[in-house]
Amino acid sequence: MLPFITFKQFLNDLRRQKLRSALTMFGIFWGSCAIVLLFAFGQGLTEAQLTSQKGMGDNIAIFWPGVTSQEFKGLSKGRRIRLTEEDCELLKKSSVTVSRISPEYRRHSIPLKYGKNNTLRNIIGVWPEFGIMRNLIPEFGSRFINQRDMAERRRVIFIGNILKTDLFGAEEAVGQTVLLNGTPFTVIGVMKEKVQNSSYGGRDSRTVFMPASTFRSMWGHRYINNFVIQARPEYSMLQARREVYETLGAKYRFDPEDREALGVWDTSRGFEFLKNFFAAFQAFLVGIGVSTLITGGIGVSNIMNVVLEERTKEIGIKMALGARKSYILTQFILETLLITGVGGFLGFLFAWAVVSVIPLLPFPDLEQMIGTPRVSLLSGIMITALLGVIGFFAGIFPARRAANLQPVRALKLF
Amino acid sequence: MSPIIYMKQVKKRYQTGAVAFEALKGINLIVNPGEFIAVVGPSGSGKSTLMNIMGCLDVPSSGIYKLEDELVNKMTHNQLADIRNQKIGFVFQAFNLLPYATAFENVEVPLLFAKVNGKKRRARVIELLARVGLADKAGNRPTEMSGGEMQRVAIARALANEPDIILADEPTGNLDSKSGSGIVSLFDELHSAGKTIVIITHDMNIAQHAQRLVRLKDGLMDTGTEDPQLATAS
Ligand SMILES: Nc1ncnc2c1ncn2[C@@H]1O[C@H](COP(=O)(O)OP(=O)(O)OP(=O)(O)O)[C@@H](O)[C@H]1O
Ligand SMILES: [Mg+2]
C-alpha cells in the first residue's frame, strides 16, 4: 500500500487539475446515469405490460362455438356447432391435458339494484374454477363461488371492484342483498383490484359472476357462450387445444383441424408474444446502452488524451525528481478509480432520485402505463466498472509508456 | 580522493528511423568532489546529451559511468530514480516546474518521494525557499512568478534532499542578464558550501565562475580539457 505521504500528493494533484477531473467525472456520471435510467424504465415497462396481460388470466385458452368450414365424414360444411355445459363436463372427465375448465353463460344489461342505486350489468354464470383461471382474487373476508353454491344453485354473486363501489360506495358489500332482475341475491365476494388490459365481453371489475347452475335455472339457457381451460403444467397449451378439438370434434363430428368449428383465443400465445417482444425491447435497450457506453468511453479517453501532453511532461518531471515507476502507475490507477467511482456513484444516485420522483408526479395513470421503474444496483456497479475500465485503458497506456521512458524522453516528447 | 563522476569512453547513439546519429563519440571525464565545472561548446555538440547521462535522466549507449564509485550502467529503473532523488539536483533551462502547483508544493515534491514526514518536510521547504530568497513567494504558482523566480524555485527543488552534485543545463538561458547573474551567484554560494557543480552555458562570463572548462565539439571533448590519464589509457 502507498504511504500516506504519496496519497497526499495524489490528492494535491487531483485538486490542482480540477477541470480534467471534473470533465472525466462528468462523462462517467452521465454514462452511468443514462444507462441506469434506461434499464430502470425498460424493466418497469416490461413488468407493467406483463402483469396487465396476466390480469385476464395466466396461460388460459377461451373457446367459442363456431361454424364448420370443411366437409367431414359425409357431413356438409357450414354446420353450426353449439356447446353445452355437458361438453365441459365431458372434457373435465376425459381429458388428460386439461387441468381446469369452466363454461360461461352470459347475459347483458341485467338490472341490478341496491337501495336507491340502479345499474345495468353483464352477468356471467361460471364454475368455481373460473375464479382461479381468470385471476379473480377475492378481497379479504370474501370468497369466490364454490361447489356448494353450484350444487345448491344458491342465489349468490361475486362482483367486480368497480361495480362494488358503484353500488355500495364505501359500505361493506359482502353479506348484503341486491336485487338482480328483481330476484334477491347475496353478495359473497368482491374482486381485488387488478390491472387488466385485455378482455372479451367486458372488464371483470364491472361484471357480476354467479354459479352456472343458478344462471341456468334463472334463464333456462341450453347453450353456453364459451368456455375457458387451463392446461396441466406437464402439457403445453397447444396439446390441450388439440385434445379439445379432438374430443369435441368426435362428439359433434367435425374435423379436428377445422379452426372455424371452434374459435379459440390462447392467451398463452399472447403472453409468449409479449415476452418475446419485451425480450427484444430489452435487447434494444442494451444496444442503446452499449452505444452510450462507447460514446461515454470515447469521451473519457478523449479527455485523457487532451491532457496527454501535460501528463507526459508531468511524469517526466516527477521521474527526474526521483519518482519510481510504481508511484507513477499507482497514482494513475488511484486517480482513475476515484474519478470513475465518484462519477458512477453520483450518476447512480441521480438516476435513483429521478426514479423516486416519478411516483410523486401528478399523473395518476403514469404508473399503469410505464410501470414502476426499478433501479438496479448491479447495473449501476457494472456500468461504472465498465466505464472505469474504458477510462483506465484510455489512460494507462500513455501513462505506462511515459513511465517506461528515460525521464529525458518523457520531458522532450512534445 | 576518488572522483565523484567518472566517465570512460561514454558514447550515445540516437536512432531516428533508419538513421543513427552518434551524439557522444567517447567521452572521458573525471569530476572531483567540490569542483565547479563549466561545459561549453557549439550548439549540437552534445552538451545536453552528456549532462542528461550525468544526471541519470538518460543512459549511455556504451562506455562506463561511475557515480560516487557506483556503476550506473547496470542500474535498474528504481535505483536510477533513487539516485536522481538523493544524489543529484538537476536544474533545467526551461525550469520544468509543475504548472498547477505552488512554489512550496514544487519544492516539496522530491521530499515526498524521499518520504520525509510532514513537519520536517514543511520546515525544510521553508528553509530552502528562504535560501534562494523566495520566502515570501511560497504560495505563488509558476504563472505568478518571473523567470528568475521560477529558476530559483527550481534550484531550491534541486537542493531539497541535499544532493552532492548540482547539474544545470543552461540555467540562465531563458533569463535576462540581471536575473541570470543572480542565479550564477547562487551557484557560487553552493560551490562555497562544498557542492560539486557542473553547468552548461553559452555565456563566457558565466563560464569564468568555474574552476575548469570542458569544451565539447561534435560529441568529443577538446584535447586540452580531456583528462590526460583517461585519454592515454583508452
Ligand atoms: N532524442 C534525440 N534523437 C535524435 N537525435 C538527438 C536527440 N537528442 C539530441 N539529438 C542530437 O544530438 C546532438 C546533440 O544534441 P544536444 O542536445 O546534446 O546538443 P547541445 O550541445 O546541448 O546543443 P544546444 O547548445 O543547442 O543545446 C544534436 O545534433 C541533436 O540533434
Ligand atoms: Mg543543450
- Partner B contacted by A310 (CB < 8 A): yes
Domains of chain B (ranges; CATH) run 5-87+163-231 (3.40.50.300)
State the average pLDDT over residues A130-142. Answer: 89
Q: Using the mean position of ligand 2's atoms as its centre, give its distance from the Cα of residue B231 in Å.
A: 25
At residue A1 the predicted structure's pLDDT band, cuts being 50, 70 and 90, is: very low
Nearest CA to ligand 1 atom 24: B43
Q: Using the mean position of ligand 1's atoms as its centre, give its distance from the Cα of residue B53 in Å.
A: 13
Nearest CA to ligand 1 atom 31: B44
CB A104 within 8 A of CB A228: yes
**Amino acid symbol at A72:** F
Q: Let me know if residue A61 belongs to a domain.
A: no
Q: What percent of chain B has pLDDT over 70?
A: 94
At residue A369 the predicted structure's pLDDT band, cuts being 50, 70 and 90, is: low
The pLDDT, as a whole number, for residue A126 is: 96
Q: Which residue has the higher pLDDT, A13 or A165?
A: A165
Q: Please state, in angstroms and as integers, the Cα–Cα distance from residue A244 to each residue in A13, A43, A72, A390, B148, following that order.
A: 77, 37, 17, 58, 100
Gap between the Cα atoms of A218 and A196, Å rounded: 30
- Partner B contacted by A406 (CB < 8 A): yes
Query: Considering chain B, what is the average pLDDT of its residues?
Result: 91
Q: Is residue A258 within a helix (H) or strand (E), and if so which, with residue range? A: none
At residue A385 the predicted structure's pLDDT band, cuts being 50, 70 and 90, is: confident
Q: Please state, in angstroms and as integers, the Cα–Cα distance from residue A141 to each residue in A100, A154, A174, A192, A362, following that order.
A: 25, 19, 8, 11, 33
A400 and A331 in a common domain: yes
Size of interface A-B (CB pairs under 8 A): 73
Instruction: Answer yes or no: is the C-beta of B23 below 6 A from any ligand 1 atom.
Output: yes
pLDDT of residue A275 exceeding 70: yes
Q: Using the mean position of ligand 1's atoms as its centre, give its distance from the Cα of residue B44 in Å.
A: 5
Give residue A150's domain range: 98-231
A196 and A301 in a common domain: no
Q: Let me know if residue A140 belongs to a domain.
A: yes
The pLDDT, as a whole number, for residue B233 is: 45
The pLDDT, as a whole number, for residue A3 is: 47
The pLDDT, as a whole number, for residue A215 is: 95
Query: Considering chain A, what is the average pLDDT of its residues?
Result: 83
A198 and A242 in a common domain: no
Gap between the Cα atoms of B89 and B166, Å rounded: 5
State the average pLDDT over residues A184-196. Answer: 90
Residue B64 distance to chain A (closest CA, Å): 18
Instruction: Answer yes or no: is the C-beta of B45 below 6 A from any ligand 1 atom.
Output: yes
Q: Let me know if residue A59 belongs to a domain.
A: no
Gap between the Cα atoms of B74 and B208, Å rounded: 36
Neighbours of B40 (CB within 10 A): 22
Reported as a single tens digit per residue, the pLDDT across B16-67 is: 888 999 999 999 999 999 999 999 999 999 999 999 999 999 999 999 999 9
A408 and A292 in a common domain: yes
Residue of B90, B107, B109, B119 to mutate, interface with A, max A Cβ within 10 Å? B109
The pLDDT, as a whole number, for residue B229 is: 57
A17 vs B contacts (CB less than 8 Å): 100
Q: Where are the beta strands (DSSP E) in chain B?
A: 5-16, 19-31, 36-40, 62-67, 70-71, 88-91, 165-169, 196-200, 212-217, 220-221
Instruction: Answer yes or no: is the C-beta of B128 below 6 A from any ligand 1 atom.
Output: no
A247 and A227 in a common domain: no
Q: Let me know if residue A160 belongs to a domain.
A: yes
CA-based nearest residue in chain A for residue B51: A408
DSSP codes, A359-388: GGSS-TTHHHHH------HHHHHHHHHHHH
The pLDDT, as a whole number, for residue A124 is: 95
A346 and A282 in a common domain: yes
A288 and A178 in a common domain: no
Gap between the Cα atoms of A40 and A282, Å rounded: 11
Cα A377–chain centre separation:
19
At residue A365 the predicted structure's pLDDT band, cuts being 50, 70 and 90, is: low
pTM metric for this prediction: 0.65
H runs (alpha helix) in A253-324:
267-306, 308-320
Residue among B58, B59, B82 minimizing CB distance to A322: B82
Gap between the Cα atoms of A189 and A411, Å rounded: 84
Of A255-264, A397-406, B115-124, the range with the lowest mean pLDDT is A397-406
- Count structural domains, chain A: 3
**Nearest C-alpha neighbor of A335 from the set A284, A247, A395, A290:** A395
Gap between the Cα atoms of A165 and A147, Å rounded: 27
Q: Let me know if residue A215 belongs to a domain.
A: yes
The pLDDT, as a whole number, for residue A14 is: 67
pLDDT of residue B144 exceeding 90: yes
Hey, what's the cell of B34?
567540490
pLDDT of residue A303 exceeding 80: no
The pLDDT, as a whole number, for residue A394 is: 67
A14 vs B contacts (CB less than 8 Å): none
A220 and A183 in a common domain: yes
pLDDT of residue A235 exceeding 70: yes
Q: Is the ipTM of this complex over 0.90?
A: yes
Gap between the Cα atoms of B122 and B104, Å rounded: 9
Q: Let me know if residue A267 belongs to a domain.
A: no
Three-class SS state of A1: coil
A402 and A281 in a common domain: yes
B101 vs A contacts (CB less than 8 Å): 12, 16
pLDDT of residue A267 exceeding 60: yes
CA-based nearest residue in chain B for residue A3: B115
Q: Please state, in angstroms and as integers, the Cα–Cα distance from residue B17 to each residue in B14, B20, B21, B137, following that order.
A: 10, 8, 10, 46
Gap between the Cα atoms of A298 and B197, Å rounded: 48
Nearest CA to ligand 1 atom 18: B46
Three-class SS state of A319: helix
pLDDT of residue A229 exceeding 90: yes
B110 vs A contacts (CB less than 8 Å): 321-322
Q: Which residue has the higher pLDDT, A308 or B178?
A: B178
pLDDT of residue A4 exceeding 60: no
CB B158 within 8 A of CB B84: no
CA-based nearest residue in chain B for residue A328: B113
The pLDDT, as a whole number, for residue A370 is: 67
Q: What is the 3-state secondary structure (H, E, C) of A34-93?
A: HHHHHHHHHHHHHHHHHHHHHCCCCCEEEEEECECCCCECCECCCCECCCCHHHHHHHHH
pLDDT of residue A393 exceeding 60: yes
Vertex A192, ends A188 and A195: CA angle to 5°?
A: 145
Q: Let me know if residue A80 belongs to a domain.
A: yes
A292 and A280 in a common domain: yes
